Amino acid sequence: MLLKFGLGKTLNYPIIIMKKALFGLLLSVILSACTNYSPTIEPTTQQFYTIQSGDSLDSIAFLLELPPALLIRLNPSIDPDNLVLGSRLILPGSQAQSQAGSSIKNLTYIWPLSNIDVSSPFGYRWGRLHSGIDLRAPLGTPIKASFHGQVIFSGRKSNYGKIIILAHAGGIETTYAHNGRNLAKVGQQVKKGAIIASVGRTGNATGNHLHFELRQQGEPIDPKQYLPTLY
């Protein structure tokens, strides 16, 4: 149907109605798409923390809601009392941690005593896990660090008696227990082979020996898998 107006314009109603219908359909499609649109956000994992001016290990741990000891385990090369401005700390769950943790098989650990006499191996005994290996030795025998690391504990722990724990890269720890004397101090950096203690029978021990543990991410593993073979 055509309508004429005084100014000489002619309107074609069917075409106008069709255009409006098409416009309305297009608008509804656009609005529907916008309503159902949900952007995909790629998850991000912070892998490092960069040390800032005024930071301390305790303030970083509080900020990240992590135990200070865990940060030391993942970053054994740091000096907790002298953090280096601009250096980066590995955080748990990061790719760097996973790579470091898997590198244990590529590292060369050494036996903590010069003469090895295994009196009790790693594994279950009397229905309980013996989480390390016992090495018989005379009183006062020097105990060596099995690998480079940082002392995160030096003191006494109930059944362990006098004990030293070293933190190594990748969440790995070595434990030296029933010591007669602890020679290394907390926070001290030690090299592989350095004398850190001497053999004794402190704690729950029936004779002079060293109880040696190897842990990865807190879980005990058989040290003999990563130590030189004895024969």
Beta strands in the chain (DSSP E): 2-4, 10-12, 48-50, 88-90, 118-120, 123-125, 128-130, 133-136, 142-144, 149-157, 161-168, 172-182, 189-190, 195-199, 209-216, 219-221
Q: Specify which residues 149 forms β-bridges with.
A: 190
- 89 and 30 together in one domain: no
- pTM, to two decimals: 0.58
Nearest to 203 by CA among 159, 157, 163, 139: 159
43 falls within a domain: no
Same-domain check for residues 85 and 23: no
Domain total in the chain: 3
Q: Are 177 and 194 in contact (CB under 8 A)?
A: no
pLDDT at 155: 94
| Domain identity same for 87 and 180 | no
Q: What is the mean pLDDT of each successive set of 10 residues along the chain, which is 231 residues long?
A: 50 56 60 46 55 85 82 75 78 58 64 92 83 94 94 91 88 92 93 96 94 87 82 49
Q: In this predicted structure, what is the pLDDT of residue 39?
A: 37
pLDDT computed for residue 45 by the predictor: 46
Q: Does 145 share its domain with 215?
A: yes
158-213: pLDDT as tens digits: 899 999 999 887 778 899 999 999 999 998 999 999 999 999 999 999 899 999 99
Residue 149 sits in the same domain as residue 56: no
